[in-house]
Amino acid sequence: MTEEVQFTEETIREALRSVLDPELHLDVIALGLIKSVDVATRPVDLKMLLTTPFCPYGPWMVQQVKEAAEKAAGTEVKVEVVAEQWNPEMMEDPTLLGFF
């Protein structure tokens, strides 16, 4: 018997809107920091990036993302920080930062 999935990628992404970047005061979804959420794997595989490579809040943000995703999914989530360089164009609405 296979385990029935009670959550979706969208469920997890919506839960991650509660995780705010402490410097920019925007959530990780609005900022475009969540690259992928693979709900077909166990643990759920989530890939994210940080706004800067040496973000002082990086470890804290990764932990907050993990906790919010696990709460939404009801199962273990593995969060991997990818080396991709973030830029404001990755945001849902880049005008939120006032650069454009």
Q: Where are the domains of the chain?
A: 9-84
- State residue 53's pLDDT score: 86
pTM of the model: 0.90
| Spatial contact of 17 and 71, defined as CB atoms under 8 Å apart | no
pLDDT band at 5 (very low <50, low <70, confident <90, very high): low
User: Model confidence over 26-72: pLDDT tens digits?
Assistant: 999 999 999 999 999 999 999 999 999 888 999 999 999 999 999 99
Fold of 9-84: GMP Synthetase; Chain A, domain 3 (3.30.300)
> What tokens appear for 12 in the block?
């997890």
- 65 secondary structure, DSSP code: H
- State residue 26's pLDDT score: 95
Mapped to the 3 state alphabet, what secondary structure does 32-75 carry?
A: CCEEEEECCCCCEEEEECCCCCCCCCHHHHHHHHHHHHHHHHCC
Residue 96 φ/ψ, nearest 5 degrees: -60, -25
Residue 91 in this model has a pLDDT that exceeds 50: yes
